């Protein structure tokens, strides 16, 4: 059993963040990465302000587990 049960939309946001970060990291030097950086900032804000974190007893300390679960579901690879 998973120690945390995250909603699918939060897992999808995290997977999108991971895909975007990976694309930015692999972009060649001098490539136009502005759109990737902007997307990463947008996704960071959406992740940070997701209603899941506002519920009593929930902490951002679970963020590493969120990343682990998004990777484990295989949502981070490009389709």
The verdict on residue 79 lying in a domain is: no
- CB-based contacts of 22-25 (< 8 A; 24+ apart in sequence): 22/76
Q: What's phi and psi for 19, nearest 5 deg?
A: -65, -45
Domain span holding position 24? 8-72
Please check whether residue 3 lies inside any domain of the structure: no
Rounded to an integer, what distance in angstroms lies between the CA atom of residue 68 and that of residue 11? 10
Query: What confidence score (pLDDT) does residue 31 get?
Result: 82
- HSE-up of 23 (CA within 13 Å, CB side)? 19
Query: What does the pLDDT read at residue 40?
Result: 96
Per-residue pLDDT at 76? 59
Tell me phi and psi for residue 49, to 5 degrees: -105, 10
Q: How many domains does the structure of the chain reveal?
A: 1
pLDDT in tens, the chain (79 residues): 457 789 999 999 999 999 999 999 999 887 889 999 999 999 999 999 999 999 998 888 999 999 999 998 876 555 4
């Amino acid at each position: 059993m998973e120690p945390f049960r995250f909603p699918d939309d939060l897992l999808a946001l995290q997977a999108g963040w991971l895909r975007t970060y990976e694309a930015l990291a692999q972009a060649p030097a001098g490539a136009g990465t502005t759109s990737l950086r902007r997307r990463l900032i947008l996704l960071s804000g959406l992740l940070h302000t997701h209603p899941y974190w506002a519920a009593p007893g929930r902490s951002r300390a679970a963020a590493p587990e969120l990343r682990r679960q998004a990777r484990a579901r295989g949502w981070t690879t490009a389709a």
